[in-house]
Amino acid sequence: MTSYPVRTYSDVREALLARREIALLDVREEDPHAQSHPLFAANFPLSRIELDAYTRLPRRDVPIVVFDAGEGLAARAAEKLVELGYTQVALLDGGLDGWIREGGEVFRDVNVPSKAFGEFVESQRHTPSLTAEAVDALLKSGDDVVVLDARRFDEYHTMNIPGSISVPGAELVLRARALAPNPATRVIVNCAGRTRSIIGTQSLVNAGLPNPVAALRNGTIGWTLAGQTLEQGSERRFEPQTGRDDANLDASRNAARALADRAGVNRTTLDETSRWAADSARTTYRFDVRTPAEYEHAHAPGFQGAPGGQLVQETEMYAPVRGARVVLFDDDGVRANMTASWLAQMNIDVYVVDDTAATSLTARGPWRAAKPQPEPTPAVSADELAALLGDPASGTVVIDVTSSANHVKAHIPGAHWIVRSRLTNGADDLRALPDAKRYVVTCGTNALAPFVAPEIAALTGKPVQVLDGGTAAWIRAGHATEAGEERLASPRIDRYRRPYEGTDNAREAMNAYLEWEYGLVAQLERDGTHGFFTI
């Protein structure tokens, strides 16, 4: 295998402190990543490199440092990145163990920079909050209270505080004045745990909302631990024109711009950002922070949809190059400035587009990530696969390489699930499969399967085909699916189970998660590379 340059802990730390561009990539699956990693290490699984690289690492000359915890994934990931055209790829000296031996701080969980920043903000600004018991008493007493849920709508739909309204993070300052027009109305902001509650509440405080505002302390976790009941399946959300009347919009826009200026946010134009995108010396991320529906209706070419609240919550996933330039766009002068004010306080070089003419929004539909062409692999249609599976003599075994969650929800009957990163010579995962004359590889929409199929062919020496259109095409063709965790050839390490999602979490796990969040400020101080500040 090719030898790659090595960068030390001290070298990486110095680059972070100097704000030089660096992408520190943990190429393990999400669950092992969540157990232990450096603060600014972005989870970048080997399994998905071809699908993610060109979007998350838009500049081919960006300095990249990859690591694992001794599983042998880093060298494989480096090889793939070089094949994809990246020119400055190095391995972290000693991997995760080397980082720890040199005294590097390590963190648990996911989206740690954002969560640590939220705790930092609360410690600096003393963000107001109320306990679950206090909020419950206000609601039951009929007080003038509105509860705004700052999570994504799908999270809200799963479980929410009774009577609350879905208003994802970046929408809060734009919508809150209209949702609570009486200045005496108390506004409560919640999320699942703490971060989005803190940032959402502090956003409203910073923006000068005249109402009394507080975070629901510890979010739906705190609500559950207090023995209170959550709603499920709620559909309440703001109307698209909420907050866009002249008086409310002007107040929100002026407040957001003033905050952006105080935080040191820079200004730019669409033309300038187009030139930056072609700059081979600097990484530029371009994000449209409006709602997904607005983005898909019309957006500026080259801008990726990234709702502002989630961009602040998952910053290292959207923009894993630390030291990069980040550009934000909206059409109202509120959401981009508010989001930018927080990113700037996270020590990010951030710009807001000022020329937001509707005529510039010429692109339609969801973000279409650029990706390389896979090696040619024979394909089989859904009907042809159904015929093969109906003939035991064909010896056909289906391998599903989608996410484990998707596989468990619905998969082709008899399909075996494997996580791609565990496909190696002599892997027990492949040995767990029944003997086959041929393999057919599928995933959700046939995005990943064509990259995995040649690897399976090389490891097994058997004929391998891909399912044309993936499992989605199988379903469209009217064929049956099954659900469940049978025939998992790999452990479900591709997804870390968050202690704050779903409705069946153990009390011990929720309490442990809250204790972990409380300790993040001390960890930031020990790490010393963050550069966070507050205004």
Q: Is the pLDDT of residue 505 over 70?
A: no
Q: Is residue 364, in this structure, part of any structural domain at all?
A: no
Task: Say what percent of the chain tops pLDDT 90.
Answer: 93
Q: Give pLDDT, residue 1.
A: 61
Does 319 lie in the same domain as 400?
no
Task: Say what percent of the chain tops pLDDT 70.
Answer: 98
Q: Is the pLDDT of residue 503 over 80?
A: no
Give, to the nearest 10 degrees, the angle between helix 112-125 and helix 507-518.
Answer: 60
Task: State how far the Cα of 518 lies from the Cα of 512, in Å rounded to an integer.
Answer: 10
Does 165 lie in the same domain as 266?
no
pLDDT tier, 378 (very low <50, low <70, confident <90, very high otherwise) = very high
Three-class SS state of 288: strand
The whole-number average pLDDT for the span 234-241 is 96
Domain boundary among 193, 211, 237: 237
Task: State how far the Cα of 125 lies from the Cα of 115, in Å rounded to an integer.
Answer: 15
Split into its structural domains, the chain has a count of 4
Does 230 lie in the same domain as 173?
yes
Q: Is the pLDDT of residue 426 over 80?
A: no
Q: Is residue 97, in this structure, part of any structural domain at all?
A: yes
Does 17 lie in the same domain as 61?
yes
Q: Tell me the pLDDT of the chain averaged across its residues.
A: 96
Three-class SS state of 391: coil
Say which amino acid occupies 373.
Q
- Among 258-262, 337-341, 471-475, 485-489, the range scoring the smallest mean pLDDT is 485-489
Q: Is the pLDDT of residue 532 over 70?
A: yes
Does 414 lie in the same domain as 310?
no
Does 150 lie in the same domain as 220?
yes
- What 448-451 contacts at long range (C-beta under 8 Å, 24+ apart), as own/partner pairs, is 448/47, 448/48, 448/50, 448/51, 448/401, 448/402, 448/420, 449/401, 450/374, 450/375, 450/377, 451/50, 451/51, 451/374
> Token pair of 232, please?
């499920």
297 DSSP assignment: H
Q: Give pLDDT, residue 513.
A: 86
Q: Give pLDDT, residue 355.
A: 83
Q: Give pLDDT, residue 506.
A: 77
Q: Is the pLDDT of residue 366 over 90?
A: yes
Does 279 lie in the same domain as 187?
no
Domain boundary among 174, 203, 237: 237
Say which amino acid occupies 344.
A
The whole-number average pLDDT for the span 472-499 is 95
- Kindly give, in sequence order, each residue whose CB lies less than 8 Å from that of residue 343, ignoring residues fewer than 6 positions away: 311, 312, 315, 326, 328, 350
Q: Is the pLDDT of residue 491 over 90?
A: yes
Does 60 lie in the same domain as 16?
yes
378 contacts 441 by C-beta, under 8 angstroms? no
Q: Is residue 470, in this structure, part of any structural domain at all?
A: yes
- Of 435, 294, 307, 313, nearest to 365 by C-alpha is 294
Q: Is residue 494, in this structure, part of any structural domain at all?
A: no
Q: Is residue 370, in this structure, part of any structural domain at all?
A: no
> Token pair of 465, please?
């085909």
Q: Is residue 518, in this structure, part of any structural domain at all?
A: no
**Model's pTM, two decimal places?**
0.95
The CATH number assigned to the domain holding 63 equals: 3.40.250.10
Determine phi and psi for 321, rounding to 5 degrees: -80, 105
Does 217 lie in the same domain as 277?
no
Does 50 lie in the same domain as 100?
yes
Does 228 lie in the same domain as 178?
yes
Query: Which domain, by its residues, includes 455?
Result: 379-476
β-pair type (416-417, 396-400): parallel
Residue ranges of the alpha helices (H) in 105-245?
Answer: 112-125, 132-140, 153-158, 172-179, 195-206, 219-225
Sign of the CA dihedral running 305, 311, 314, 320: positive
Three-class SS state of 60: coil
The whole-number average pLDDT for the span 111-126 is 97
Angle at CA of residue 286, ends 329 and 14, nearest 5°:
125
Domain boundary among 84, 109, 134: 109
Q: Is residue 533, in this structure, part of any structural domain at all?
A: no
Q: Is the pLDDT of residue 103 over 70?
A: yes
The whole-number average pLDDT for the span 279-289 is 97
Burial of 518 (0-12, 13-18, 19+ CB in 10 A): middle
Does 139 lie in the same domain as 46?
no
Q: Give pLDDT, residue 511.
A: 87
Bridge partners, 37 (sequence order): 107
Q: Is residue 516, in this structure, part of any structural domain at all?
A: no
Q: Give pLDDT, residue 499.
A: 76
Task: State how far the Cα of 202 lies from the Cα of 114, in Å rounded to an integer.
Answer: 14
- Kindly give, in sequence order, each residue whose CB lies less than 8 Å from that of residue 140, ignoring residues fewer than 6 positions away: none
